[in-house]
């Protein structure tokens, strides 16, 4: 006896998927250790730490630290690399600004000063990356500052395409 084969119809379905995206310009800022400076903790990120360690007017300084003295103060500084990259932007330039997060505390007779370069403006045509090599960060400490005083603050950097 023969069993008749059932005819099988092929079942199919179709569909379409539309894909859309809107490209936004972007800008990125990261910190890298400079070969001439103190090694950063978090190098290669946008949230790094520059730790000078113990500082003093006289005696040895840590690798990568530069010290100068006057009659009443000493300054320690280190080079930091600030890398800014931008993409998909019609702007050919940007402004890089740096600002201490909070004013430094002052004790009577103390004039602690902190320096950094700010407001650098760059016109780069179509270059997408700008590396600010040897970007100095410095702390000036009066000789009247008590031994054991901890200096701690944050510099907020802002890169704005314009």
pLDDT (0 to 100) of residue 93:
80
pTM: 0.71
Residue 108 covered by a domain: yes
What whole-number percentage of the chain has pLDDT above 70?
Answer: 77
Residues 138 and 75 sit within 8 Å (Cβ to Cβ): yes
* CA distances to 3, 19, 45, 127 from 87, in Å: 69, 22, 18, 9
- In this prediction, residues 46-75 reach a mean pLDDT of 95
pLDDT (0 to 100) of residue 42:
97
Q: Mean pLDDT of all residues in the chain?
A: 81
Residue 55 DSSP label: -
Strand ranges in the chain using DSSP code E only, listed in sequence order? 26-33, 66-69, 73-87, 93-100, 113-116, 120-123, 129-142, 155-161
Residue 8 covered by a domain: no
pLDDT (0 to 100) of residue 7:
64
- In this prediction, residues 28-39 reach a mean pLDDT of 94
pLDDT (0 to 100) of residue 62:
93
Residue 12 covered by a domain: no
Residue 4 covered by a domain: no
Residue 57 covered by a domain: yes
Tell which residue, 38, 43, 40, 41, has the closest CA to residue 55: 38
pLDDT (0 to 100) of residue 4:
62
Domain that holds residue 123: 26-161
- In this prediction, residues 22-33 reach a mean pLDDT of 93
- Strand, coil or helix: 63: coil
Give the total number of structural domains in the chain: 1
pLDDT (0 to 100) of residue 109:
35
Residue 43 covered by a domain: yes
Residue 100 covered by a domain: yes
- In this prediction, residues 45-52 reach a mean pLDDT of 96
pLDDT (0 to 100) of residue 108:
34
Per-residue H/E/C for 24-45: CCEEEEEEEECCCCCCCECCCE
Residue 20 covered by a domain: no
């Amino acid at each position: 006896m023969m069993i008749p084969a059932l005819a099988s119809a092929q079942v199919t379905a179709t569909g379409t998927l539309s894909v859309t995206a809107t490209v936004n310009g972007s800008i990125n800022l990261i910190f890298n250790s400079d070969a001439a400076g103190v090694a950063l903790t978090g190098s290669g990120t946008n949230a790094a730490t520059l730790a000078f360690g113990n500082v003093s007017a006289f005696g040895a300084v840590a690798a990568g630290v530069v010290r100068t003295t006057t009659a009443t103060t000493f300054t320690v500084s280190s080079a930091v690399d600030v890398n800014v990259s931008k993409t998909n932007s019609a702007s050919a330039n940007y402004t890089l600004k740096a600002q201490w997060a909070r004013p430094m505390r002052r004790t009577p007779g103390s004039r602690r000063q902190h320096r950094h370069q700010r407001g650098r403006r760059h016109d780069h045509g179509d270059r997408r990356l700008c590396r600010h090599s040897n970007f100095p960060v410095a702390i000036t400490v009066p000789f009247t500052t008590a031994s054991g005083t901890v200096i701690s603050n944050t510099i907020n950097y802002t890169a704005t395409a314009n």
